[in-house]
Amino acid sequence: MPSRFVCFGEVLLRLGAPGRQMLLQSPQFEVFVGGAEANVAVSLARFGHAAAQVGVLPDNPLGAAAAGELRRHGVDTRALATGPGRMGLYFLTPGAVHRPSEVFYDRAGSAFALADPDRYDWPALLAGVDWLHLSGVTPALGERAAAAAIAAAATARRLGVKVSFDGNYRPKLWEAWRGDAPGLLKQILANTDLLFADHRDMAVVLGTEFNEATTEARVEAAARAAFAAFPGLGRLATTLRTQHSVDHHALCARMVSRDGAVCATGSHEIAPIVDRIGAGDAFAAGVLHGLASGLDDGAALNFGLGAACLKHSLPGDFNLLGADDVAAFVHQGRFDVRR
């Protein structure tokens, strides 16, 4: 049976240089709608769930186009309000060979960042909802957005709505207003059930370095520290990425549960990469779909990894593939033309 999800965060426009060019190397941009939470909402809708996006957009053609794009992919935008301020943007310089991609944010003064946190009626917005999804991008935008995210998570916990939170630590955003990242993130994590994060995210939140010999051991140590710090947290899940070049990565995933159980996947080689932006959101949506659909932790983790791998084949922020496409990749791994 489909579950009901609410995703809270800023919907953005992405302006990227075409092909592998530098920004304004030629006077053109490729434009996509995105944003961490919106990416998750689109994936969940594609997987057959009822997914709603909550937030604020400017009352202008850019905001209307962004909301319309979410609706086109099945996301409920009735709680996506309009307010004063501008459209949040980010600019992408795509990487190539040994030159990494680079993101430049232009979000100050956006309608979402300026919105009064008291405008969100969280008991009404979360009524009858199974999961609330948040990410660390939202509290990084400023005091108002942080207060709204904290209130959303606290209300969800009080109402018995499960909370998933993707660390998504963005130092450029936090530094822009000198926000207290550890202090604010701890308030959200105190009400989180499922955390998408790795040892680096937890080092920021807990002020503890994890120096185990392997990445896998560092993730497990970070999970144990997170469980000790946040008694309501049940699971920590993350992808582990090996980068051979900009165009060739290997991806696997790991999930650690409060009871000490560890699930690990095999590794998938991804080459060539079409677009890696949004792969973490595709992973989060895939794991959420798996858990909401009654899959065990290992199967849910493999589904999430499959969704993340497939996202690398699509331009733009959204993973537009459905649950059957992901399941076919996970269980069959065949690449024959479908006729």
Q: How far, in Å, CA of 105 to CA of 91, rounded?
A: 6
Question: Is residue 150 predicted with pLDDT exceeding 60?
Answer: yes
Average pLDDT, the chain: 96
Return the H-helix or E-strand segment holding 329.
helix 323-331
Is the four-CA dihedral 126, 130, 133, 139 of positive or negative sign?
positive
Contact 247, 271 (CB under 8 A): yes
Joined together, the tokens standing for residue 297 give 């932790």
If we measure between CA atoms, which residue out of 235, 238, 8 comes closest to residue 134? 8
Question: Is residue 170 predicted with pLDDT exceeding 70?
Answer: yes
At 203-262, the pLDDT tens digits run: 999 999 999 999 999 999 999 999 999 999 999 999 999 999 999 999 999 999 999 999
Residue 336's pLDDT is 57
| Minimum mean pLDDT range among 40-44, 73-77, 204-208, 328-332 | 328-332
Residues with catalytic annotation?
Answer: 281
Residue 288's pLDDT is 98
Q: How sure is the predictor about 339, in pLDDT bands with cuts at 50, 70 and 90?
A: low
Other Cβ atoms less than 10 A from the Cβ of 208: the count is 14
Contact 53, 38 (CB under 8 A): yes
Joined together, the tokens standing for residue 231 give 């008694």
Q: How sure is the predictor about 151, in pLDDT bands with cuts at 50, 70 and 90?
A: very high
Residue 32's pLDDT is 98
pTM: 0.96
Return the H-helix or E-strand segment holding 123.
helix 122-125
Residue 338's pLDDT is 57
Q: How far, in Å, CA of 115 to CA of 289, rounded?
A: 30
Joined together, the tokens standing for residue 23 give 């920004």
Residue 227: helix, strand or coil by DSSP? helix
Residue 335's pLDDT is 55
Q: How far, in Å, CA of 316 to CA of 45, rounded?
A: 17
Contact 84, 111 (CB under 8 A): yes
What angle do the packed helices 61-72 and 36-46 form, to 10 degrees?
A: 30
Residue 98's pLDDT is 87
Residue 156's pLDDT is 98
Residue 133's pLDDT is 98
Q: How far, in Å, CA of 122 to CA of 147, rounded?
A: 12
Question: Is residue 334 predicted with pLDDT exceeding 80?
Answer: no
Residue 2's pLDDT is 86
Residue 89's pLDDT is 97
Residue 332's pLDDT is 78
At 153-169, the pLDDT tens digits run: 999 999 999 999 999 99
Q: How far, in Å, CA of 84 to CA of 168, rounded?
A: 26
Question: Is residue 136 predicted with pLDDT exceeding 60?
Answer: yes
Cα 13 to Cα 66, 238, 319: the distances in Å are: 7, 26, 16
Q: How sure is the predictor about 333, in pLDDT bands with cuts at 50, 70 and 90?
A: low
Joined together, the tokens standing for residue 215 give 């990445």
Contact 83, 56 (CB under 8 A): yes
pLDDT > 70: percent of the chain: 98
Q: Give phi and psi for 316, each to the nearest 5.
A: 95, 175
Q: How far, in Å, CA of 317 to CA of 282, rounded?
A: 9
Q: Give phi and psi for 2, each to the nearest 5.
A: -60, 145
Question: Is residue 189 predicted with pLDDT exceeding 90?
Answer: yes
